[in-house]
Structure formats: structure tokens, C-alpha cells
């Protein structure tokens, strides 16, 4: 192309620098509202909290509350291999409130067995985990006398509780004596919740923020007692419509939980458990529709093919995870306790 020809080509207008066009406030809301709603849904998603009890090589285990150190090591490795970090429930809930809960799994150890410091702690450290230990300050150095079938297992002493706290574990209350709060009279209810918190504050120097309902049984009266005793959260097992900060769902873990079962339990957790109620609306947020705070039935969100069939429990739906037959006679949860219809082995270990 000659210079003369090029000179005869009319100059094409260059694209003008992109101008910032003011976006009407109404349009901005349309874009940001879904993101806000998504963040809110993430915070309400049922947390995945694993429920352990005893960690030992004991094979006499009628209540399915024991995992061997080898099995716990494998389970913690399974979490880590999937980019998940096991943390105490207090840490989990604080992280979720700050929008940093992704990849965190709550780890809890009920009853405060003495084997926690000997067997569980070294493995938790090995995998970079923390956990919450729910102890019984009314049975310091005692044993699990509430388990009729035994075997008897020693519980942490005050020194053992302090040692666990010194190793970075969260100490929570499991009540004083391992009493079913739904059948306790008012003075007992107060002792189990308020007095156990005071005793633990004396032992560790810090009033515990977390409570755990013995046997996983919970009702609105027990929730109110726990809340007024000053606890910031409480763990149940499958609290259904009562789900909230003072009735957090958990998943029972036992010796049979190998990789496929953990995979299924993780998959089914948001299907089986109800989301947490919505937090009170921010004072400045006056744009969105009012949130009633009513729990949403998560079965609507079940991925195709994973929703349990009507009238069947989750264990039925996933076959290999169903271990309901393993619960010994007389130890099955009473009707209405909810944990019986959870993923198979969640029936066992509701101690």
C-alpha cells in the first residue's frame, strides 16, 4: 500500500475511552441483592460437625461410641486430603459468622473420656486440628456410669481437662452428671446447665461458650435453660425444627466410618439437616424482603437422586451406611429424639 493511497483512506474514529455511566441505585440493588442472599444462605447452611466419644482400642462397644486411634487417624487424614480442616465448634461458628467457614468441619468429643488426652490429642495435633471436648464436671475422674451395658471408661479429671485446654482444645459442658435435660425438673435443669458452667470456669479459668445435650435430646425448655445460663451455642444431634445456635446438628462417627461412608455423610448433611435460622437483619439493610427466619425444608435442595424416598430414612436410601440394627435393645433413642432416623449409625452413640 502506497503512502499516497493510505493518505486517502478516511481516518476511522478511534474508540473513545470508556465512560463511567452512573448506575441507578435500583439497578445496583438488583445486582448486589442476590450476592447478599447467597452469603446469607452460606451462613445458614447446616454446619458439618462430627460427633466422637471415646478413642481407644477397646472392642467391647455396645453403644458404638469408640473409634480406634488408627481409625481416627484415617478419618482425619480423609478430611485433610479433601482440603477440610477439623476445628472446635466455637472456632467453626465464629468463622462462619465472619464468612470464613468454607472448608471447616467441627470436631466434638462427648463425655470427656480420659483417653482423649492420651489417644485423640496426639492425632489432632498430627493433622493440625482442634476440637471441642464436652466434659462432665460432676463426674471428674469418674466413669460412664450412665451406660448400663458398659464397659466402664474413666473420665477426665480436672487436671486432664486443664491439659486439654492447654493444648488448644475448646472445653464445653456436657452438663453435670449426664442427665437427659428433657425429663429434668427445674432445679436439676439449672444445676446441669448453670452450675456446670460455673464449675468449668473454676477449672479452666474461662466460662465455656459451648454446651452439649446428653443423649442428644433437646426441647425448647432445655434450649432456654442453656441460653440463659450464658452459653453461646449448644450441640444436639438432629434437632429438626429446633435447629439453631443452641441446637446445632451433628453427625455420629464411629469405627465403621471409612472413606465411602464419610463421603456419603458429608454429601447428605445439607439434605438431612435444616439450615440455621436467619440472623436478625442488619439495621441498615432495609431493601430486601423481610426474612421470617423460618427454617427452610432442605429436602427441596436435595440433588437429584439423593433425596430419601418418602417414609424411608437416609440409611435406607444409601444402603451401606445403614447400621440401625446395631443399636442394642433398650438403648434406641425414644420417639421424637430425631437421631434415630439419621444416617444409619447416627442412631448409635447418642450418648
Site residues (vs Zn ion, CB under 5 A): 110-111, 214, 351
| Smallest distance, Zn ion to C-beta of residue 167, A | 21
Distance CA 50, CA 161 (A): 20
CB atoms within 10 A of CB 82: 13
| Smallest distance, Zn ion to C-beta of residue 57, A | 21
**Grid coordinates representing 349?**
452413640
> Smaller CB distance to Zn ion: residue 229 or 264?
229
| Smallest distance, Zn ion to C-beta of residue 138, A | 13
How buried is 186 (Cβ within 10 angstroms: 0-12 exposed, 13-18 middle, 19+ buried)?
exposed
Q: What is the DSSP string of 38-62?
A: HHHHHHHSPP-EEEE-EESS----T
Secondary structure of residue 186 in the 3-state scheme? helix
Q: What are the Cα distances from residue 93, in Å, to 44, 171, 242, 247, 334?
A: 11, 15, 17, 13, 29
Secondary structure of residue 349 in the 3-state scheme? coil
DSSP structural state of residue 339 = G
Q: What is the DSSP string of 192-220?
A: IIIIHHHHHHHHHSS--SEEE-GGG---H
Distance CA 277, CA 280 (A): 9
> Smaller CB distance to Zn ion: residue 44 or 350?
350
Secondary structure of residue 160 in the 3-state scheme? helix
> Smaller CB distance to Zn ion: residue 84 or 326?
326
Distance CA 74, CA 306 (A): 26
Secondary structure of residue 132 in the 3-state scheme? strand
> Smaller CB distance to Zn ion: residue 250 or 351?
351
> Smaller CB distance to Zn ion: residue 65 or 104?
65
| Smallest distance, Zn ion to C-beta of residue 177, A | 11
| Smallest distance, Zn ion to C-beta of residue 80, A | 27
> Smaller CB distance to Zn ion: residue 199 or 268?
199
| Smallest distance, Zn ion to C-beta of residue 278, A | 30
| Smallest distance, Zn ion to C-beta of residue 237, A | 10
How buried is 73 (Cβ within 10 angstroms: 0-12 exposed, 13-18 middle, 19+ buried)?
middle
| Smallest distance, Zn ion to C-beta of residue 114, A | 15
> Smaller CB distance to Zn ion: residue 44 or 351?
351
> Smaller CB distance to Zn ion: residue 110 or 170?
110
Answer yes or no: are the C-beta atoms of 326 and 318 closer than 8 Å. Answer: no
Amino acid at each position: 500500500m502506497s503512502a499516497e493511497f493510505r493518505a486517502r483512506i478516511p481516518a476511522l474514529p478511534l474508540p473513545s475511552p470508556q465512560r463511567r455511566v452512573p448506575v441507578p441505585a435500583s439497578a445496583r440493588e438488583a445486582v448486589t441483592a442476590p450476592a447478599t442472599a447467597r452469603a446469607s444462605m452460606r451462613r445458614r447452611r447446616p454446619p458439618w460437625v462430627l460427633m466422637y466419644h471415646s478413642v481407644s482400642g477397646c472392642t467391647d462397644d455396645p453403644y458404638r461410641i469408640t473409634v480406634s486411634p488408627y481409625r481416627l487417624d484415617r478419618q482425619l487424614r480423609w478430611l485433610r486430603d479433601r482440603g477440610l480442616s477439623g476445628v472446635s465448634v466455637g472456632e467453626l461458628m465464629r468463622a462462619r459468622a465472619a464468612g470464613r467457614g468454607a472448608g471447616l468441619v467441627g470436631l466434638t468429643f462427648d463425655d470427656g473420656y480420659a483417653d482423649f488426652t492420651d489417644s485423640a490429642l496426639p492425632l489432632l495435633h498430627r493433622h493440625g486440628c482442634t476440637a471441642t471436648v464436652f466434659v462432665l464436671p460432676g463426674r471428674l475422674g469418674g466413669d460412664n456410669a450412665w451406660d448400663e451395658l458398659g464397659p466402664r471408661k474413666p473420665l477426665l479429671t480436672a487436671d486432664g481437662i486443664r491439659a486439654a485446654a492447654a493444648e488448644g482444645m475448646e472445653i464445653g459442658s456436657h452438663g453435670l452428671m449426664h442427665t437427659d435435660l428433657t425429663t429434668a425438673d427445674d432445679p436439676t435443669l439449672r444445676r446441669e446447665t448453670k452450675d456446670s458452667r460455673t464449675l468449668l470456669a473454676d477449672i479452666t479459668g474461662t466460662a465455656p461458650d459451648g454446651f452439649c445435650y446428653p443423649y442428644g435430646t433437646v426441647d425448647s425448655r432445655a434450649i432456654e435453660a442453656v441460653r440463659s445460663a450464658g452459653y453461646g451455642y449448644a450441640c444436639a444431634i438432629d434437632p429438626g425444627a429446633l435447629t439453631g445456635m443452641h441446637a446445632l446438628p451433628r453427625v455420629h462417627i464411629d469405627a465403621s466410618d471409612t472413606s465411602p461412608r464419610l463421603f456419603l455423610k458429608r454429601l447428605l448433611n445439607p439434605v438431612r439437616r435444616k439450615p440455621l435460622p436467619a440472623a436478625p437483619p442488619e439495621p441498615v439493610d432495609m431493601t430486601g424482603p423481610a426474612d421470617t427466619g423460618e427454617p427452610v425444608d432442605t429436602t427441596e435442595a436435595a440433588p437429584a437422586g439423593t433425596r430419601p424416598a418418602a417414609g424411608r430414612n437416609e440409611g435406607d436410601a444409601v444402603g451401606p451406611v445403614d447400621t440401625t440394627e446395631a443399636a442394642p435393645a433398650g438403648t434406641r433413642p425414644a420417639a421424637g429424639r430425631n437421631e434415630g432416623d439419621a444416617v444409619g449409625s447416627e442412631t448409635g452413640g447418642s450418648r
